Every structure is written in structure tokens, then in C-alpha cells.
């Protein structure tokens, strides 16, 4: 299940380096440093098939998708369909659905990934750290007690144990549907 290979098992001269394979990143590397910057990625995503844009659930005023550049496996974003920049511009209906989808997302992630906690947040404006500052989005980042990953500190690398497509299938498959679902 691990994508880390022991360098001593490679052909040629053995070394002490471990290799961390992240094949899904090639799509982002090939897209260039700022994919979809001519169009808002959160306005563009709902126009495409869910699996193609990593959408796991759709509501009436908001939807949920996986983050293309996740902090952890299962990192979700809850976005209103409407292109608004800040939370205070959201309608009461959007606020309610963003909240409801966030709660469902937390329940689904807890079930699917067995996470122990979450970081929730909205970075509003470039100065506040928003990567897409023109379109409001809430982060749901699953966390685990045993996750003491030191890569981000020493190597500016984050180890993600699952590919985005696999995570999307698991989360979308576990997302509730029917008359009681938002």
C-alpha cells in the first residue's frame, strides 16, 4: 500500500535514498504553475463530469470537491456555485448549505478514512492565504493522531498515501443520497 520504495532494491548502485512516488502530480506539473487561472476553477468545475473535476457531492447552492493540492488525503473543499469572494457575501441559503455539506463531509471522512479530527477554515483574500481568492471555499482537512509526518518541515514535501481518484470514489460512494440528504 505504501508508495515509498527502498532505494536498496533498485537496479544499479544502491543508495540510501527513499523514493516517494506521486504519479497523480504529473497532471498538475504538465498544466503549468497556474492551471485554470483564465477561468475560476470553482466556477468551471461544476460544468464538467463529477469524476473529472473530483466533485464528490452537489447541493442546490453549493458543492463539495477534493482539493487538487491537498494537505492530507481526503482534503475537501465546499464551494458555493455562485462566484463570491467572501463569506459575508453569501446568502442565508448558501451559508446553511455550506454548513450542512461541511457536517456531512466530516461524517463521511470520519467513516471512510477513520480520521481523528479536522481542520476547518476559509482563507478569504490573497493576503489571508487564499489560493483562489475570488471564489469562496471552505476547507475540510482530515487529521490523524498518528500523523506525525515530518516531510513538510524538512523537505517541503507532503506524503499522501492515496491517489485523488481513489479518494474521490471512496468519498462520493459513501456520501448519503435520498430524501434526507441536502
Element (H, E) at 25: none
Q: Output the CA angle 9-6-145, nearest 5 degrees.
A: 160
Judge whether 137 counts as a catalytic residue.
yes
Crossing angle of the two packed helices 164-174 and 92-113, in degrees rounded to 10: 110
Q: Select which of 75, 135, 137, 139 is catalytic.
A: 137
Cβ contact 180:103 at 8 Å: no
Task: Give CA–CA dist 85/79, Å, rounded.
Answer: 11
Q: Which residues are catalytic?
A: 137
Amino acid at each position: 500500500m505504501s508508495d515509498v520504495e527502498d532505494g536498496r532494491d533498485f537496479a544499479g548502485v544502491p543508495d540510501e535514498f527513499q523514493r516517494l512516488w506521486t504519479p497523480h502530480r504529473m497532471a498538475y506539473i504538465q498544466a503549468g504553475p497556474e492551471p485554470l487561472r483564465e477561468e475560476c476553477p470553482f466556477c468551471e468545475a461544476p460544468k464538467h463530469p463529477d469524476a473529472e473535476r473530483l466533485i464528490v457531492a452537489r447541493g442546490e447552492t453549493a458543492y463539495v470537491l477534493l482539493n487538487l493540492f491537498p494537505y492530507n488525503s481526503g482534503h475537501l473543499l465546499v464551494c458555493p456555485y455562485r462566484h463570491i469572494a467572501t463569506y459575508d457575501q453569501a446568502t442565508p441559503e448558501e451559508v446553511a448549505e455550506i454548513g450542512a455539506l461541511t457536517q456531512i463531509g466530516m461524517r463521511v471522512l470520519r467513516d471512510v478514512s477513520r480520521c481523528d479530527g479536522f481542520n476547518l477554515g476559509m482563507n478569504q483574500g490573497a493576503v489571508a492565504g487564499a489560493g483562489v481568492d475570488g471564489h469562496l471555499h471552505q476547507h475540510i482537512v482530515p487529521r490523524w493522531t498518528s500523523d506525525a509526518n515530518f516531510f513538510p518541515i524538512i523537505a517541503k514535501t507532503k506524503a499522501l498515501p492515496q491517489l485523488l481518484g481513489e479518494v474521490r470514489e471512496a468519498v462520493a460512494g459513501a456520501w448519503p443520497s435520498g430524501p434526507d440528504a441536502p
